[in-house]
Amino acid sequence: MSSHVLQADKSVVTTSAALVSALALLATVLFLVAALIGVISRVPSDDGSRKDVAVIERIKPVARVAIAVPKPAGAEIKLTGQEVYNKVCVACHAAGVLGAPKVGAKELWEPRLAQGLTGLVNNAVTGIRAMPAKGGNPSLTEANIHDAIVYMLDETGLKTDAAAK
């Protein structure tokens, strides 16, 4: 009978050990899930801009065809910097499309302005990175581009000597 009791005791010990091991494993899994939830909750949510940029990059054309109707000599229309911005620049500089510095984002404009207003105008006239020459509007003059840049800098809160004139 003592042999039967020893087997029963071993069975109880084995079952108890298995139960404790299972509970320890469950506790470990719950702890890891809680830690993962804590990490996930600290990650800022994606506003979709990276996805939009990736889509635009994938579907952008390999080349562009620009057809411009020549204007009669002396038919230059004077546009203000705000008008040029609203007609051409706003498409990219309002949302920061493909790395364009957003109007109002000083931290993006300050390093560019440090290179000088002339450098900014030259880059905009000839095109730089994803920005086409003259913002994609070949009818704009260098003065139009200059005025639009001064307007964007002024709206961002950065003053230039040209803005005071």
| Phi-psi domain of 107 (left: phi exceeds 0; alpha: psi -120 through 50; beta: other) | alpha
Q: Could you list the pLDDT tens digit for every one of the 165 residues in the chain?
A: 566 666 767 788 888 899 999 999 999 999 999 988 887 777 666 677 778 888 888 888 888 787 877 766 555 668 888 888 888 888 888 888 888 888 888 888 888 888 888 888 888 888 888 888 888 888 888 899 899 889 988 888 888 775 444
Cβ-based neighbours of 100, under 8 Å, separated by 6 or more = 92, 93, 130, 131
Closest by CA position to 153, among listed 104, 116, 119: 104
**What pTM value is reported for the model?**
0.52
Any idea where the domains of the chain sit in the sequence?
75-164
Query: What's the CATH fold of domain 75-164?
Result: Cytochrome Bc1 Complex; Chain D, domain 2 (1.10.760)
- CA-CA distance, 153 to 105, in Å (whole number)? 10
| Phi-psi domain of 97 (left: phi exceeds 0; alpha: psi -120 through 50; beta: other) | beta
